[in-house]
Structure 1
């Protein structure tokens, strides 16, 4: 991605002033319930002990209702008012969904809560016929989906946001920001009710009136933050946006004149996009470590499928195979609905491919085959479920092996330095440890030694051989390590089953940190030997 100077940057600001009521009406129209046509509809939100109007439709606005009006006053004005309860979480989710849909126009989409979006369209407006055509296309699509929308384009987000709160469809050429913003009321800056009221009391009703005063006067009275917003609205300086998603390293996409819905066409499209992506990365000697496929449905729903790889991928067939594995394993199958009109493939993370000289030893390629197998399994069940274990420098048994994702730590696991043991001796510790040690009931016990008989999982075991103890003290220097001293024993019962038990605490020689009383030790099963 190349940087763009502030004078050339173009930001499209979207504002959905009636998003809460539009969302509710869309939901009612999609179900058996039908909205009350011709009746005023409002959304109310609780503020203290009062219910205030949070959003309203056109019919309610024609009755003279306004945002922030108490519900009691609104009912007095309009007795047949239809009232809906506000759901800010659902509104935020709807705004996120609209932002996902806007990704088809530019990958740089930022939220402007509570009901706005900012799109960085620098360098991509020509793909849609220019800025005017892009704004019209976007607004017409949102209007067709039942949303009231206002839009403006300017050199920075604050200027565009200030304009679209009062004027719809304005495109500001570079250098003309101050002339177009100055006639607007000071409330358009969105600086808060206290500052807006203070400006009006001072006789400053428009942005131009505020701009005519010295900046030091404005800063002294209303703070430097407001002065910065004012300067950005006038086009003096940049106002960078914070995109919801990090821009991918490489991106390719395919648009369809007619929506596609068949698995064959979708798979062929993904394959062709993979070939284009591999060719683009090969020019810079890179391979993909994370791939993301976006499927844009004609009804606005966007589905994203991601796969991670342990090594940089540089072959189209590997990408095809991984996405085939991922699509086959989806618990929620890819539903094309009425079809996809855009499919996009991104390499959100890439790495330089290091060329290595390989010899004729067949075992040299074993690691590559293992990494490929891990990638295929991870594509099916998720990367976090395929783990390798790395040794930890600790004497606490449950912390001696650290599980880590195999795709990122395979090389470290292959070269890990595990404690050596004598081949002729049995292992001191079992390969299988329980996630949580299970308490056992000791029926008979050797004095200050291992159990002679015990019950575990409702089965009785008689001990015929025992070895130990191996005494392990907890890490007292850690806040979570204030545990009791453990005595571990290797146990074999009459059936030849071998267990790893420990006694939690020492008889009358240790104080329980939780109760402050002498310890009454308990016995636990921690692992099983093969």
Structure 2
């Protein structure tokens, strides 16, 4: 009704401007809160939520008890709601919006939905008016007509909506968060009010989760701990590991590191009534015989150190070097999160023999231009000037010829001839001539790319 008519009926009625973004934020917060009933929660904007509670009723004493508890809990937070449970998502949505809700007996969803008016299909105004003019006032009367007839007059989209509402077509729920691979949780009759008690419960959950991982032959790669407060607030703490693991002590230690590093410390408030530990990602893990190799032990200790640093400072802040298959030396390594295993691979990109290394381990951010005097146009340098300092070359090795990638944007690049040179002070440099003399360029330029330690 118009606002003036509503004010005449209820003089104390107050009006406030609508805020779509705040409504969306509130709906997502309610979805987080409903995560205590099932991990499969999807948004049904603008004012609905869709929960896949298949198999969850037994945890609450049956689906009727689950619905009663949900309505009562939301009511205690100031929300009025209607909840309907049906065999499929479409019938549940229609029953929640256009009936008093409740649990539909198994197999009765279609009959209940068939009695509803066509407005329950959620069609636009033009299609609703067309259905009513055709004498189709209920969903059942509409469904009784041939699908070809309906599609010809109202379009295939309307027929698809009708099938979803009746439950003939039940697409999978797209939850707000991906469903965990494995999950364990613990509910408390009375909320626990201390962080220490929550960590003790988390330790028990870690033992249970690792036991389930072992039974499935899996190892944990990413985990999330969710702390559900009695007032509805949910705190989620996620972490990852570099190698598949099912060690509960390591998992608990990493969570402690992560919790200690939180900018907003864990606050029990009125207490936690539910704790959940989920394996977000897992990979097959086969137990192997423990090696007495000192190198294997050192690698295991390094991997654990990386996991602890990543848990405390964040995965993106603990990086390593990974070798890349590229022609240009400056592109043959890149920084990646150390938990991917890249921290131990950089050395493989540099070939070594019994003599000195062929390439420096560290390069300049960009090659620096130098002035060179060479005995021959295509020979090694005899003297060069770098950063206004002159260096006389006593020894030179090379060239190492590198042809750059012609397929990259910008066309073909000049060939590089790299030399390892040593000056009179014993300092060793890695320099290159950019372009082949007489074939690619008339006057090649020289650059210094790195220093040997």
TM (norm. structure 1) is 0.72
* Alpha-carbon distance in structure 2 between the residues aligned to 1:244 and 1:85: 24
Q: How does 1:467-486 map to 2 (within 5 A)?
A: 472-479=402-409, 483=413, 486=416
Q: Residue 526 and residue 261 in structure 1: after superposition, are their counterparts in 2 closer, same or farther (change >3 A)?
A: farther
Secondary structure at the aligned position of 2:359 is classed as coil
Q: Name 1:91's counterpart in structure 2.
A: 23
C-alpha deviation, 1:227, in angstroms: 1.9
| 1:53-452 matched pairs, under 5 angstroms | 62-63=6-7, 82=15, 84=17, 86-88=19-21, 90-358=22-290, 360-409=292-341, 413=345, 418-425=349-356, 427-434=357-364, 436-437=365-366, 445-446=372-373, 452=384
CA distances 1:282-305 after superposition (whole Å, capped 9, x unpaired): 334433222211111223222211
1:159 Cα deviation (Å)? 0.9
Q: Which runs of no fewer than 5 residues in structure 1 stay unpaired?
A: 1-55, 66-77, 512-517
The alignment partner of 1:479 has SS state of coil
In 2, the alpha carbon distance for the partners of 1:507 and 1:217 equals: 78
Distance 1:173 1:507 in 2: 86
CA distance, structure 2, for counterparts of residue 232 and residue 258 of structure 1: 41
Is the 1:371–1:410 Cα contact (8 Å) retained in structure 2?
A: no
Residues 328, 164 of structure 1: alpha-carbon distance in 2 compared, 3 angstrom cutoff: same
Provide the secondary structure at the position in 2 that maps to 1:356.
coil
Relative to structure 1, the CA distance from residue 453 to residue 117 in structure 2 (aligned partners, 3 Å threshold; closer, same or farther) is same
How far apart, CA to CA, are the structure 1 residues paired with 2:58 and 2:432? Answer: 72
Contact 1:253 1:342 in 2 (8 A): yes
The equivalent position to 1:461 in structure 2, one of 389, 402, 411, is 389
Partner of 1:19: none
Q: Note the alpha carbon deviations across 1:145-170, whole angstroms, 9 max, x for none.
A: 34443322111111111222222423
How far the C-alpha of 1:368 sits from its partner, in A, is 2.7
> Would the aligned equivalents of 2:220 and 2:281 in 1 still touch at CA under 8 Å?
yes
- What is the CA distance between 1:345 and its match in structure 2? 0.8
* Aligned-partner Cα distance in 1 for 2:138–2:206: 53
Shift of residue 61 of structure 1?
8.3
Post-superposition Cα deviations, 1:338-392, rounded to whole Å, max 9, x if no partner, equal 3322111112223343232345554443333333222222222333444444433
8 Å Cα contact 2:213/2:219 also seen in 1: yes
Listed one character per residue, the Cα deviations across residues 230-275 of structure 1 (whole Å, up to 9, x for unaligned) are: 1332343534312233322321112223333423212211111112
Kept in 2: contact 1:156–1:240 (CA 8 A) = no
CA distance in 1 between counterparts of 2:332 and 2:426 reads: 27
- Distance, in Å, in 2 between the alignment partners of 1:303 and 1:480 is 50
Once the two structures are superposed, the pairs formed by residues 486-501 of structure 1 within 5 Å of their partners are 486=416, 500=430
Q: CA deviation at 1:508?
A: 10
Q: Is residue 294–residue 302 contact of structure 1 (8 Å, CA) maintained in 2?
A: yes
Contact 1:260 1:341 in 2 (8 A): yes
Count of residues paired in the alignment: 444
- Matches of 2:440 and 2:5, distance apart in 1: 75
Task: Tell me the secondary structure at the aligned position of residue 238 of structure 1.
Answer: coil
Contact 1:462/1:494 (<8 A) preserved? no
Q: 2: CA distance between counterparts of 1:64 and 1:433?
A: 79
The 3-state SS of whatever aligns with 1:348 is: strand
Structure 2 Cα separation of the partners of residues 284 and 200 of structure 1: 55
SS of residue in 2 equivalent to 1:273: helix
Tell me the equivalent position of 2:452.
529
The normalised TM-score by structure 2 is: 0.82
Deviations 1:86-134 (A, max 9, x none): 343x433332222222111001112223432211111112322322332
Paired with 2:160 and 2:433, the residues of 1 have a C-alpha distance of 66
CA distance in 2, matches of 1:64, 1:222: 40
- 2:184 partner SS: strand
Cα distance in 2 for partners of 1:486, 1:143 equals: 73
- Provide the rounded CA distance (Å) in 2 between the counterparts of 1:60 and 1:295: 46
Structure 2 Cα separation of the partners of residues 126 and 329 of structure 1:
37
Determine the C-alpha separation between the residues in 2 that align with 1:180 and 1:217: 24
CA shift for structure 1 position 419? 4.8
- Give the C-alpha shift of residue 519 in structure 1: 9.8
CA 1:149/1:474 → structure 2, altered by over 3 Å: closer, same or farther?
farther
